[in-house]
């Protein structure tokens, strides 16, 4: 294995072509081999277990971007939610999603899928396993972007839950020596598709540029948004 290898577990691809996703763009920018594991609706607990399936190697970086699934208020158990997301008939899937949204609003449910403490423990365990498997790589934790009105209307309380889990992720980064990327601070609405959850192609390019800065400049300091936009164009 190349010592210049980057492992990314996992990343939200969004509705863009594979060649426009940030792992592919990151490879083009840096020349590093980028190994990606992306699983729909992957949670912190899933990441902790999925990393076992990756072959031991010498990696320069380990990037963890779990996403916002665990921040959503819910009615259905998570195993039912994952089954619904895989259901092949789109109208039925939408009806079931809308039903849950209505029940969340009626019952005033606001709690996320996972507690802050459990989230932190899962992320720490994932980092520990990555350090063992990949011979102590630099770890970059990407936090979760705040969602827009589209999600917040259907799942009120989502953004508050995102803030709580992001605070825990930052705490874990400080405790473990990982590098913490506040992706909200270098993104704006133009970098997302309609849901403000998944990046569009421009958002993926900009994320790749931010990661390139961290990786090549060996710096935790993130450039201002205006400079990053210029670099990504």
The answer to whether residue 42 scores a pLDDT higher than 80 is no
Q: At what angle do helices 116-133 and 158-176 cross, to 10 degrees?
A: 40
pLDDT digits (tens, 9 = 90+) for 100-149: 999 999 999 999 999 999 999 999 999 999 999 999 999 999 999 898 88
For residues 125 and 85, the answer to whether their CB atoms sit within 8 Å is no
Helix (H) or strand (E) holding 63: strand 59-64
Cα separation values, 64 from 7, 47, 137, Å: 9, 9, 12
Q: Which of 17-26, 108-117, 156-165, 172-181 has the lowest mean pLDDT?
A: 17-26
Mean pLDDT (whole number) for 194-210? 89
Mean pLDDT of all residues in 202-220: 83
**C-beta atoms surrounding 153 within 10 Å:** 12
More confident site: 218 or 32: 32
Q: In Å, what is the CA distance from 52 to each residue of 9, 56, 122, 131, 224?
A: 12, 9, 13, 12, 37
The whole-chain average pLDDT of the chain stands at 84
Topology classification of domain 5-73+110-232: Rossmann fold (3.40.50)
Predicted pLDDT at 12: 46
Q: Tally Cβ neighbours within 10 Å of residue 218.
A: 9
**Residue 67 — pLDDT band, cuts 50, 70, 90?**
confident
- Sketch the domain layout of the chain as residue ranges: 5-73+110-232
Distance CA 202, CA 124 (A): 31
Count of other CB atoms within 10 angstroms of residue 187: 22
* pLDDT of the residue at 227: 41
Q: Give the least confident one: 9-13, 107-111, 151-155, 215-219.
A: 9-13
Q: Cα separation of 14 and 199, whole Å?
A: 6
pLDDT at residue 222 greater than cutoff 70: no
Q: Is the pLDDT of residue 38 over 90?
A: no
Place 229 in a pLDDT band, splitting at 50, 70 and 90.
very low
Highest mean pLDDT among 165-174, 203-212, 224-233: 165-174
Residue from 27, 14, 11, 48 nearest 201 by CA: 14
Calculate mean pLDDT across residues 41-58.
84
- Stretch 155-160: mean pLDDT: 94
Whole-number Å distance between alpha carbons of 9 and 127: 11
- Confidence at residue 157, expressed as pLDDT on a 0 to 100 scale: 95
pLDDT digit string, tens, across residues 173-190: 999 999 999 988 888 888
């Amino acid at each position: 294995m190349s010592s210049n290898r980057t492992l990314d577990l996992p990343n939200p691809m969004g509705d863009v072509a594979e060649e426009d996703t940030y792992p592919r763009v990151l490879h083009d920018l840096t020349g590093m081999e980028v190994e990606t594991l992306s699983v729909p609706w992957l949670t912190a607990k899933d990441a902790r277990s999925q990393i076992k399936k990756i072959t031991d190697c010498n990696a320069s970086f380990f990037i963890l971007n779990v996403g916002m699934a665990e921040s959503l208020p819910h009615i259905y158990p998570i195993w039912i939610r994952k089954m619904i997301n895989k259901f092949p008939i789109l109208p039925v899937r939408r009806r079931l999603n809308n039903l849950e949204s209505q029940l969340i609003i009626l019952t005033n449910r606001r709690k996320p899928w996972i507690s802050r403490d459990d989230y932190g423990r899962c992320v720490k365990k994932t980092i520990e396993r990555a350090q063992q498997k990949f011979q102590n790589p630099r770890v970059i934790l990407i936090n979760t972007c705040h969602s827009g009105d589209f999600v917040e209307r259907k799942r009120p309380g989502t953004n508050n839950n995102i803030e709580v889990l992001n605070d825990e992720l930052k705490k874990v980064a400080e405790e473990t020596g990982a590098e913490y990327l506040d992706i909200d601070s270098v993104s704006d609405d133009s970098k997302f598709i309609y849901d403000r959850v998944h990046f569009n192609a421009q958002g993926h390019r900009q994320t790749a540029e931010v990661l390139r800065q961290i990786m090549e400049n060996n710096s935790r300091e993130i450039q201002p948004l205006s400079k990053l936009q210029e670099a990504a164009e």
